[in-house]
Amino acid sequence: MSMTALSRSAAPLNRRGPGFLSRLFLGLGAARQRRRLAELDDALLRDIGLTRQDALSEARRPVWDVPQSWLR
């Protein structure tokens, strides 16, 4: 197989994004961060420009709801 044919056949695999395990770990990481965000006290939330309601709303998001930029 020539190098050109090999690189053409491998290219679509690279554009698909992370596999199942990578997505799972990304989702679990996001869930952990969201839980920690909800545990911050009001003074710390104010420091980062969030309200208690913002933090709780973020913490309730499902594990698979991560930014699209994480999936590339």
Structural domain contains residue 11: no
Any domain includes 50? yes
Does residue 39 form part of some domain? yes
Residue numbers of the domain that contains 38: 19-65
Kindly write down the DSSP assignment for every residue of 8-36, as one continuous string.
Answer: HHHHHHHHT-S-HHHHHHHHHHHHHHHHH
Given a contact cutoff of 8 angstroms between Cβ atoms, the answer to whether 59 and 38 are in contact is yes
Q: What is the pLDDT of residues 8-62, one digit of tens each?
A: 555 555 566 678 888 888 889 999 999 999 999 999 999 999 999 999 999 999 9
pTM of the model: 0.65
d(CA 50, CA 43): 10
Number of domains in the chain: 1
Residue 34 is assigned to a structural domain of this protein: yes
- Is residue 31 assigned to a domain? yes
Is 45 inside any structural domain? yes
The burial of 39, by beta-carbon neighbours within 10 Å (0-12 exposed, 13-18 middle, 19 or more buried), is given as exposed
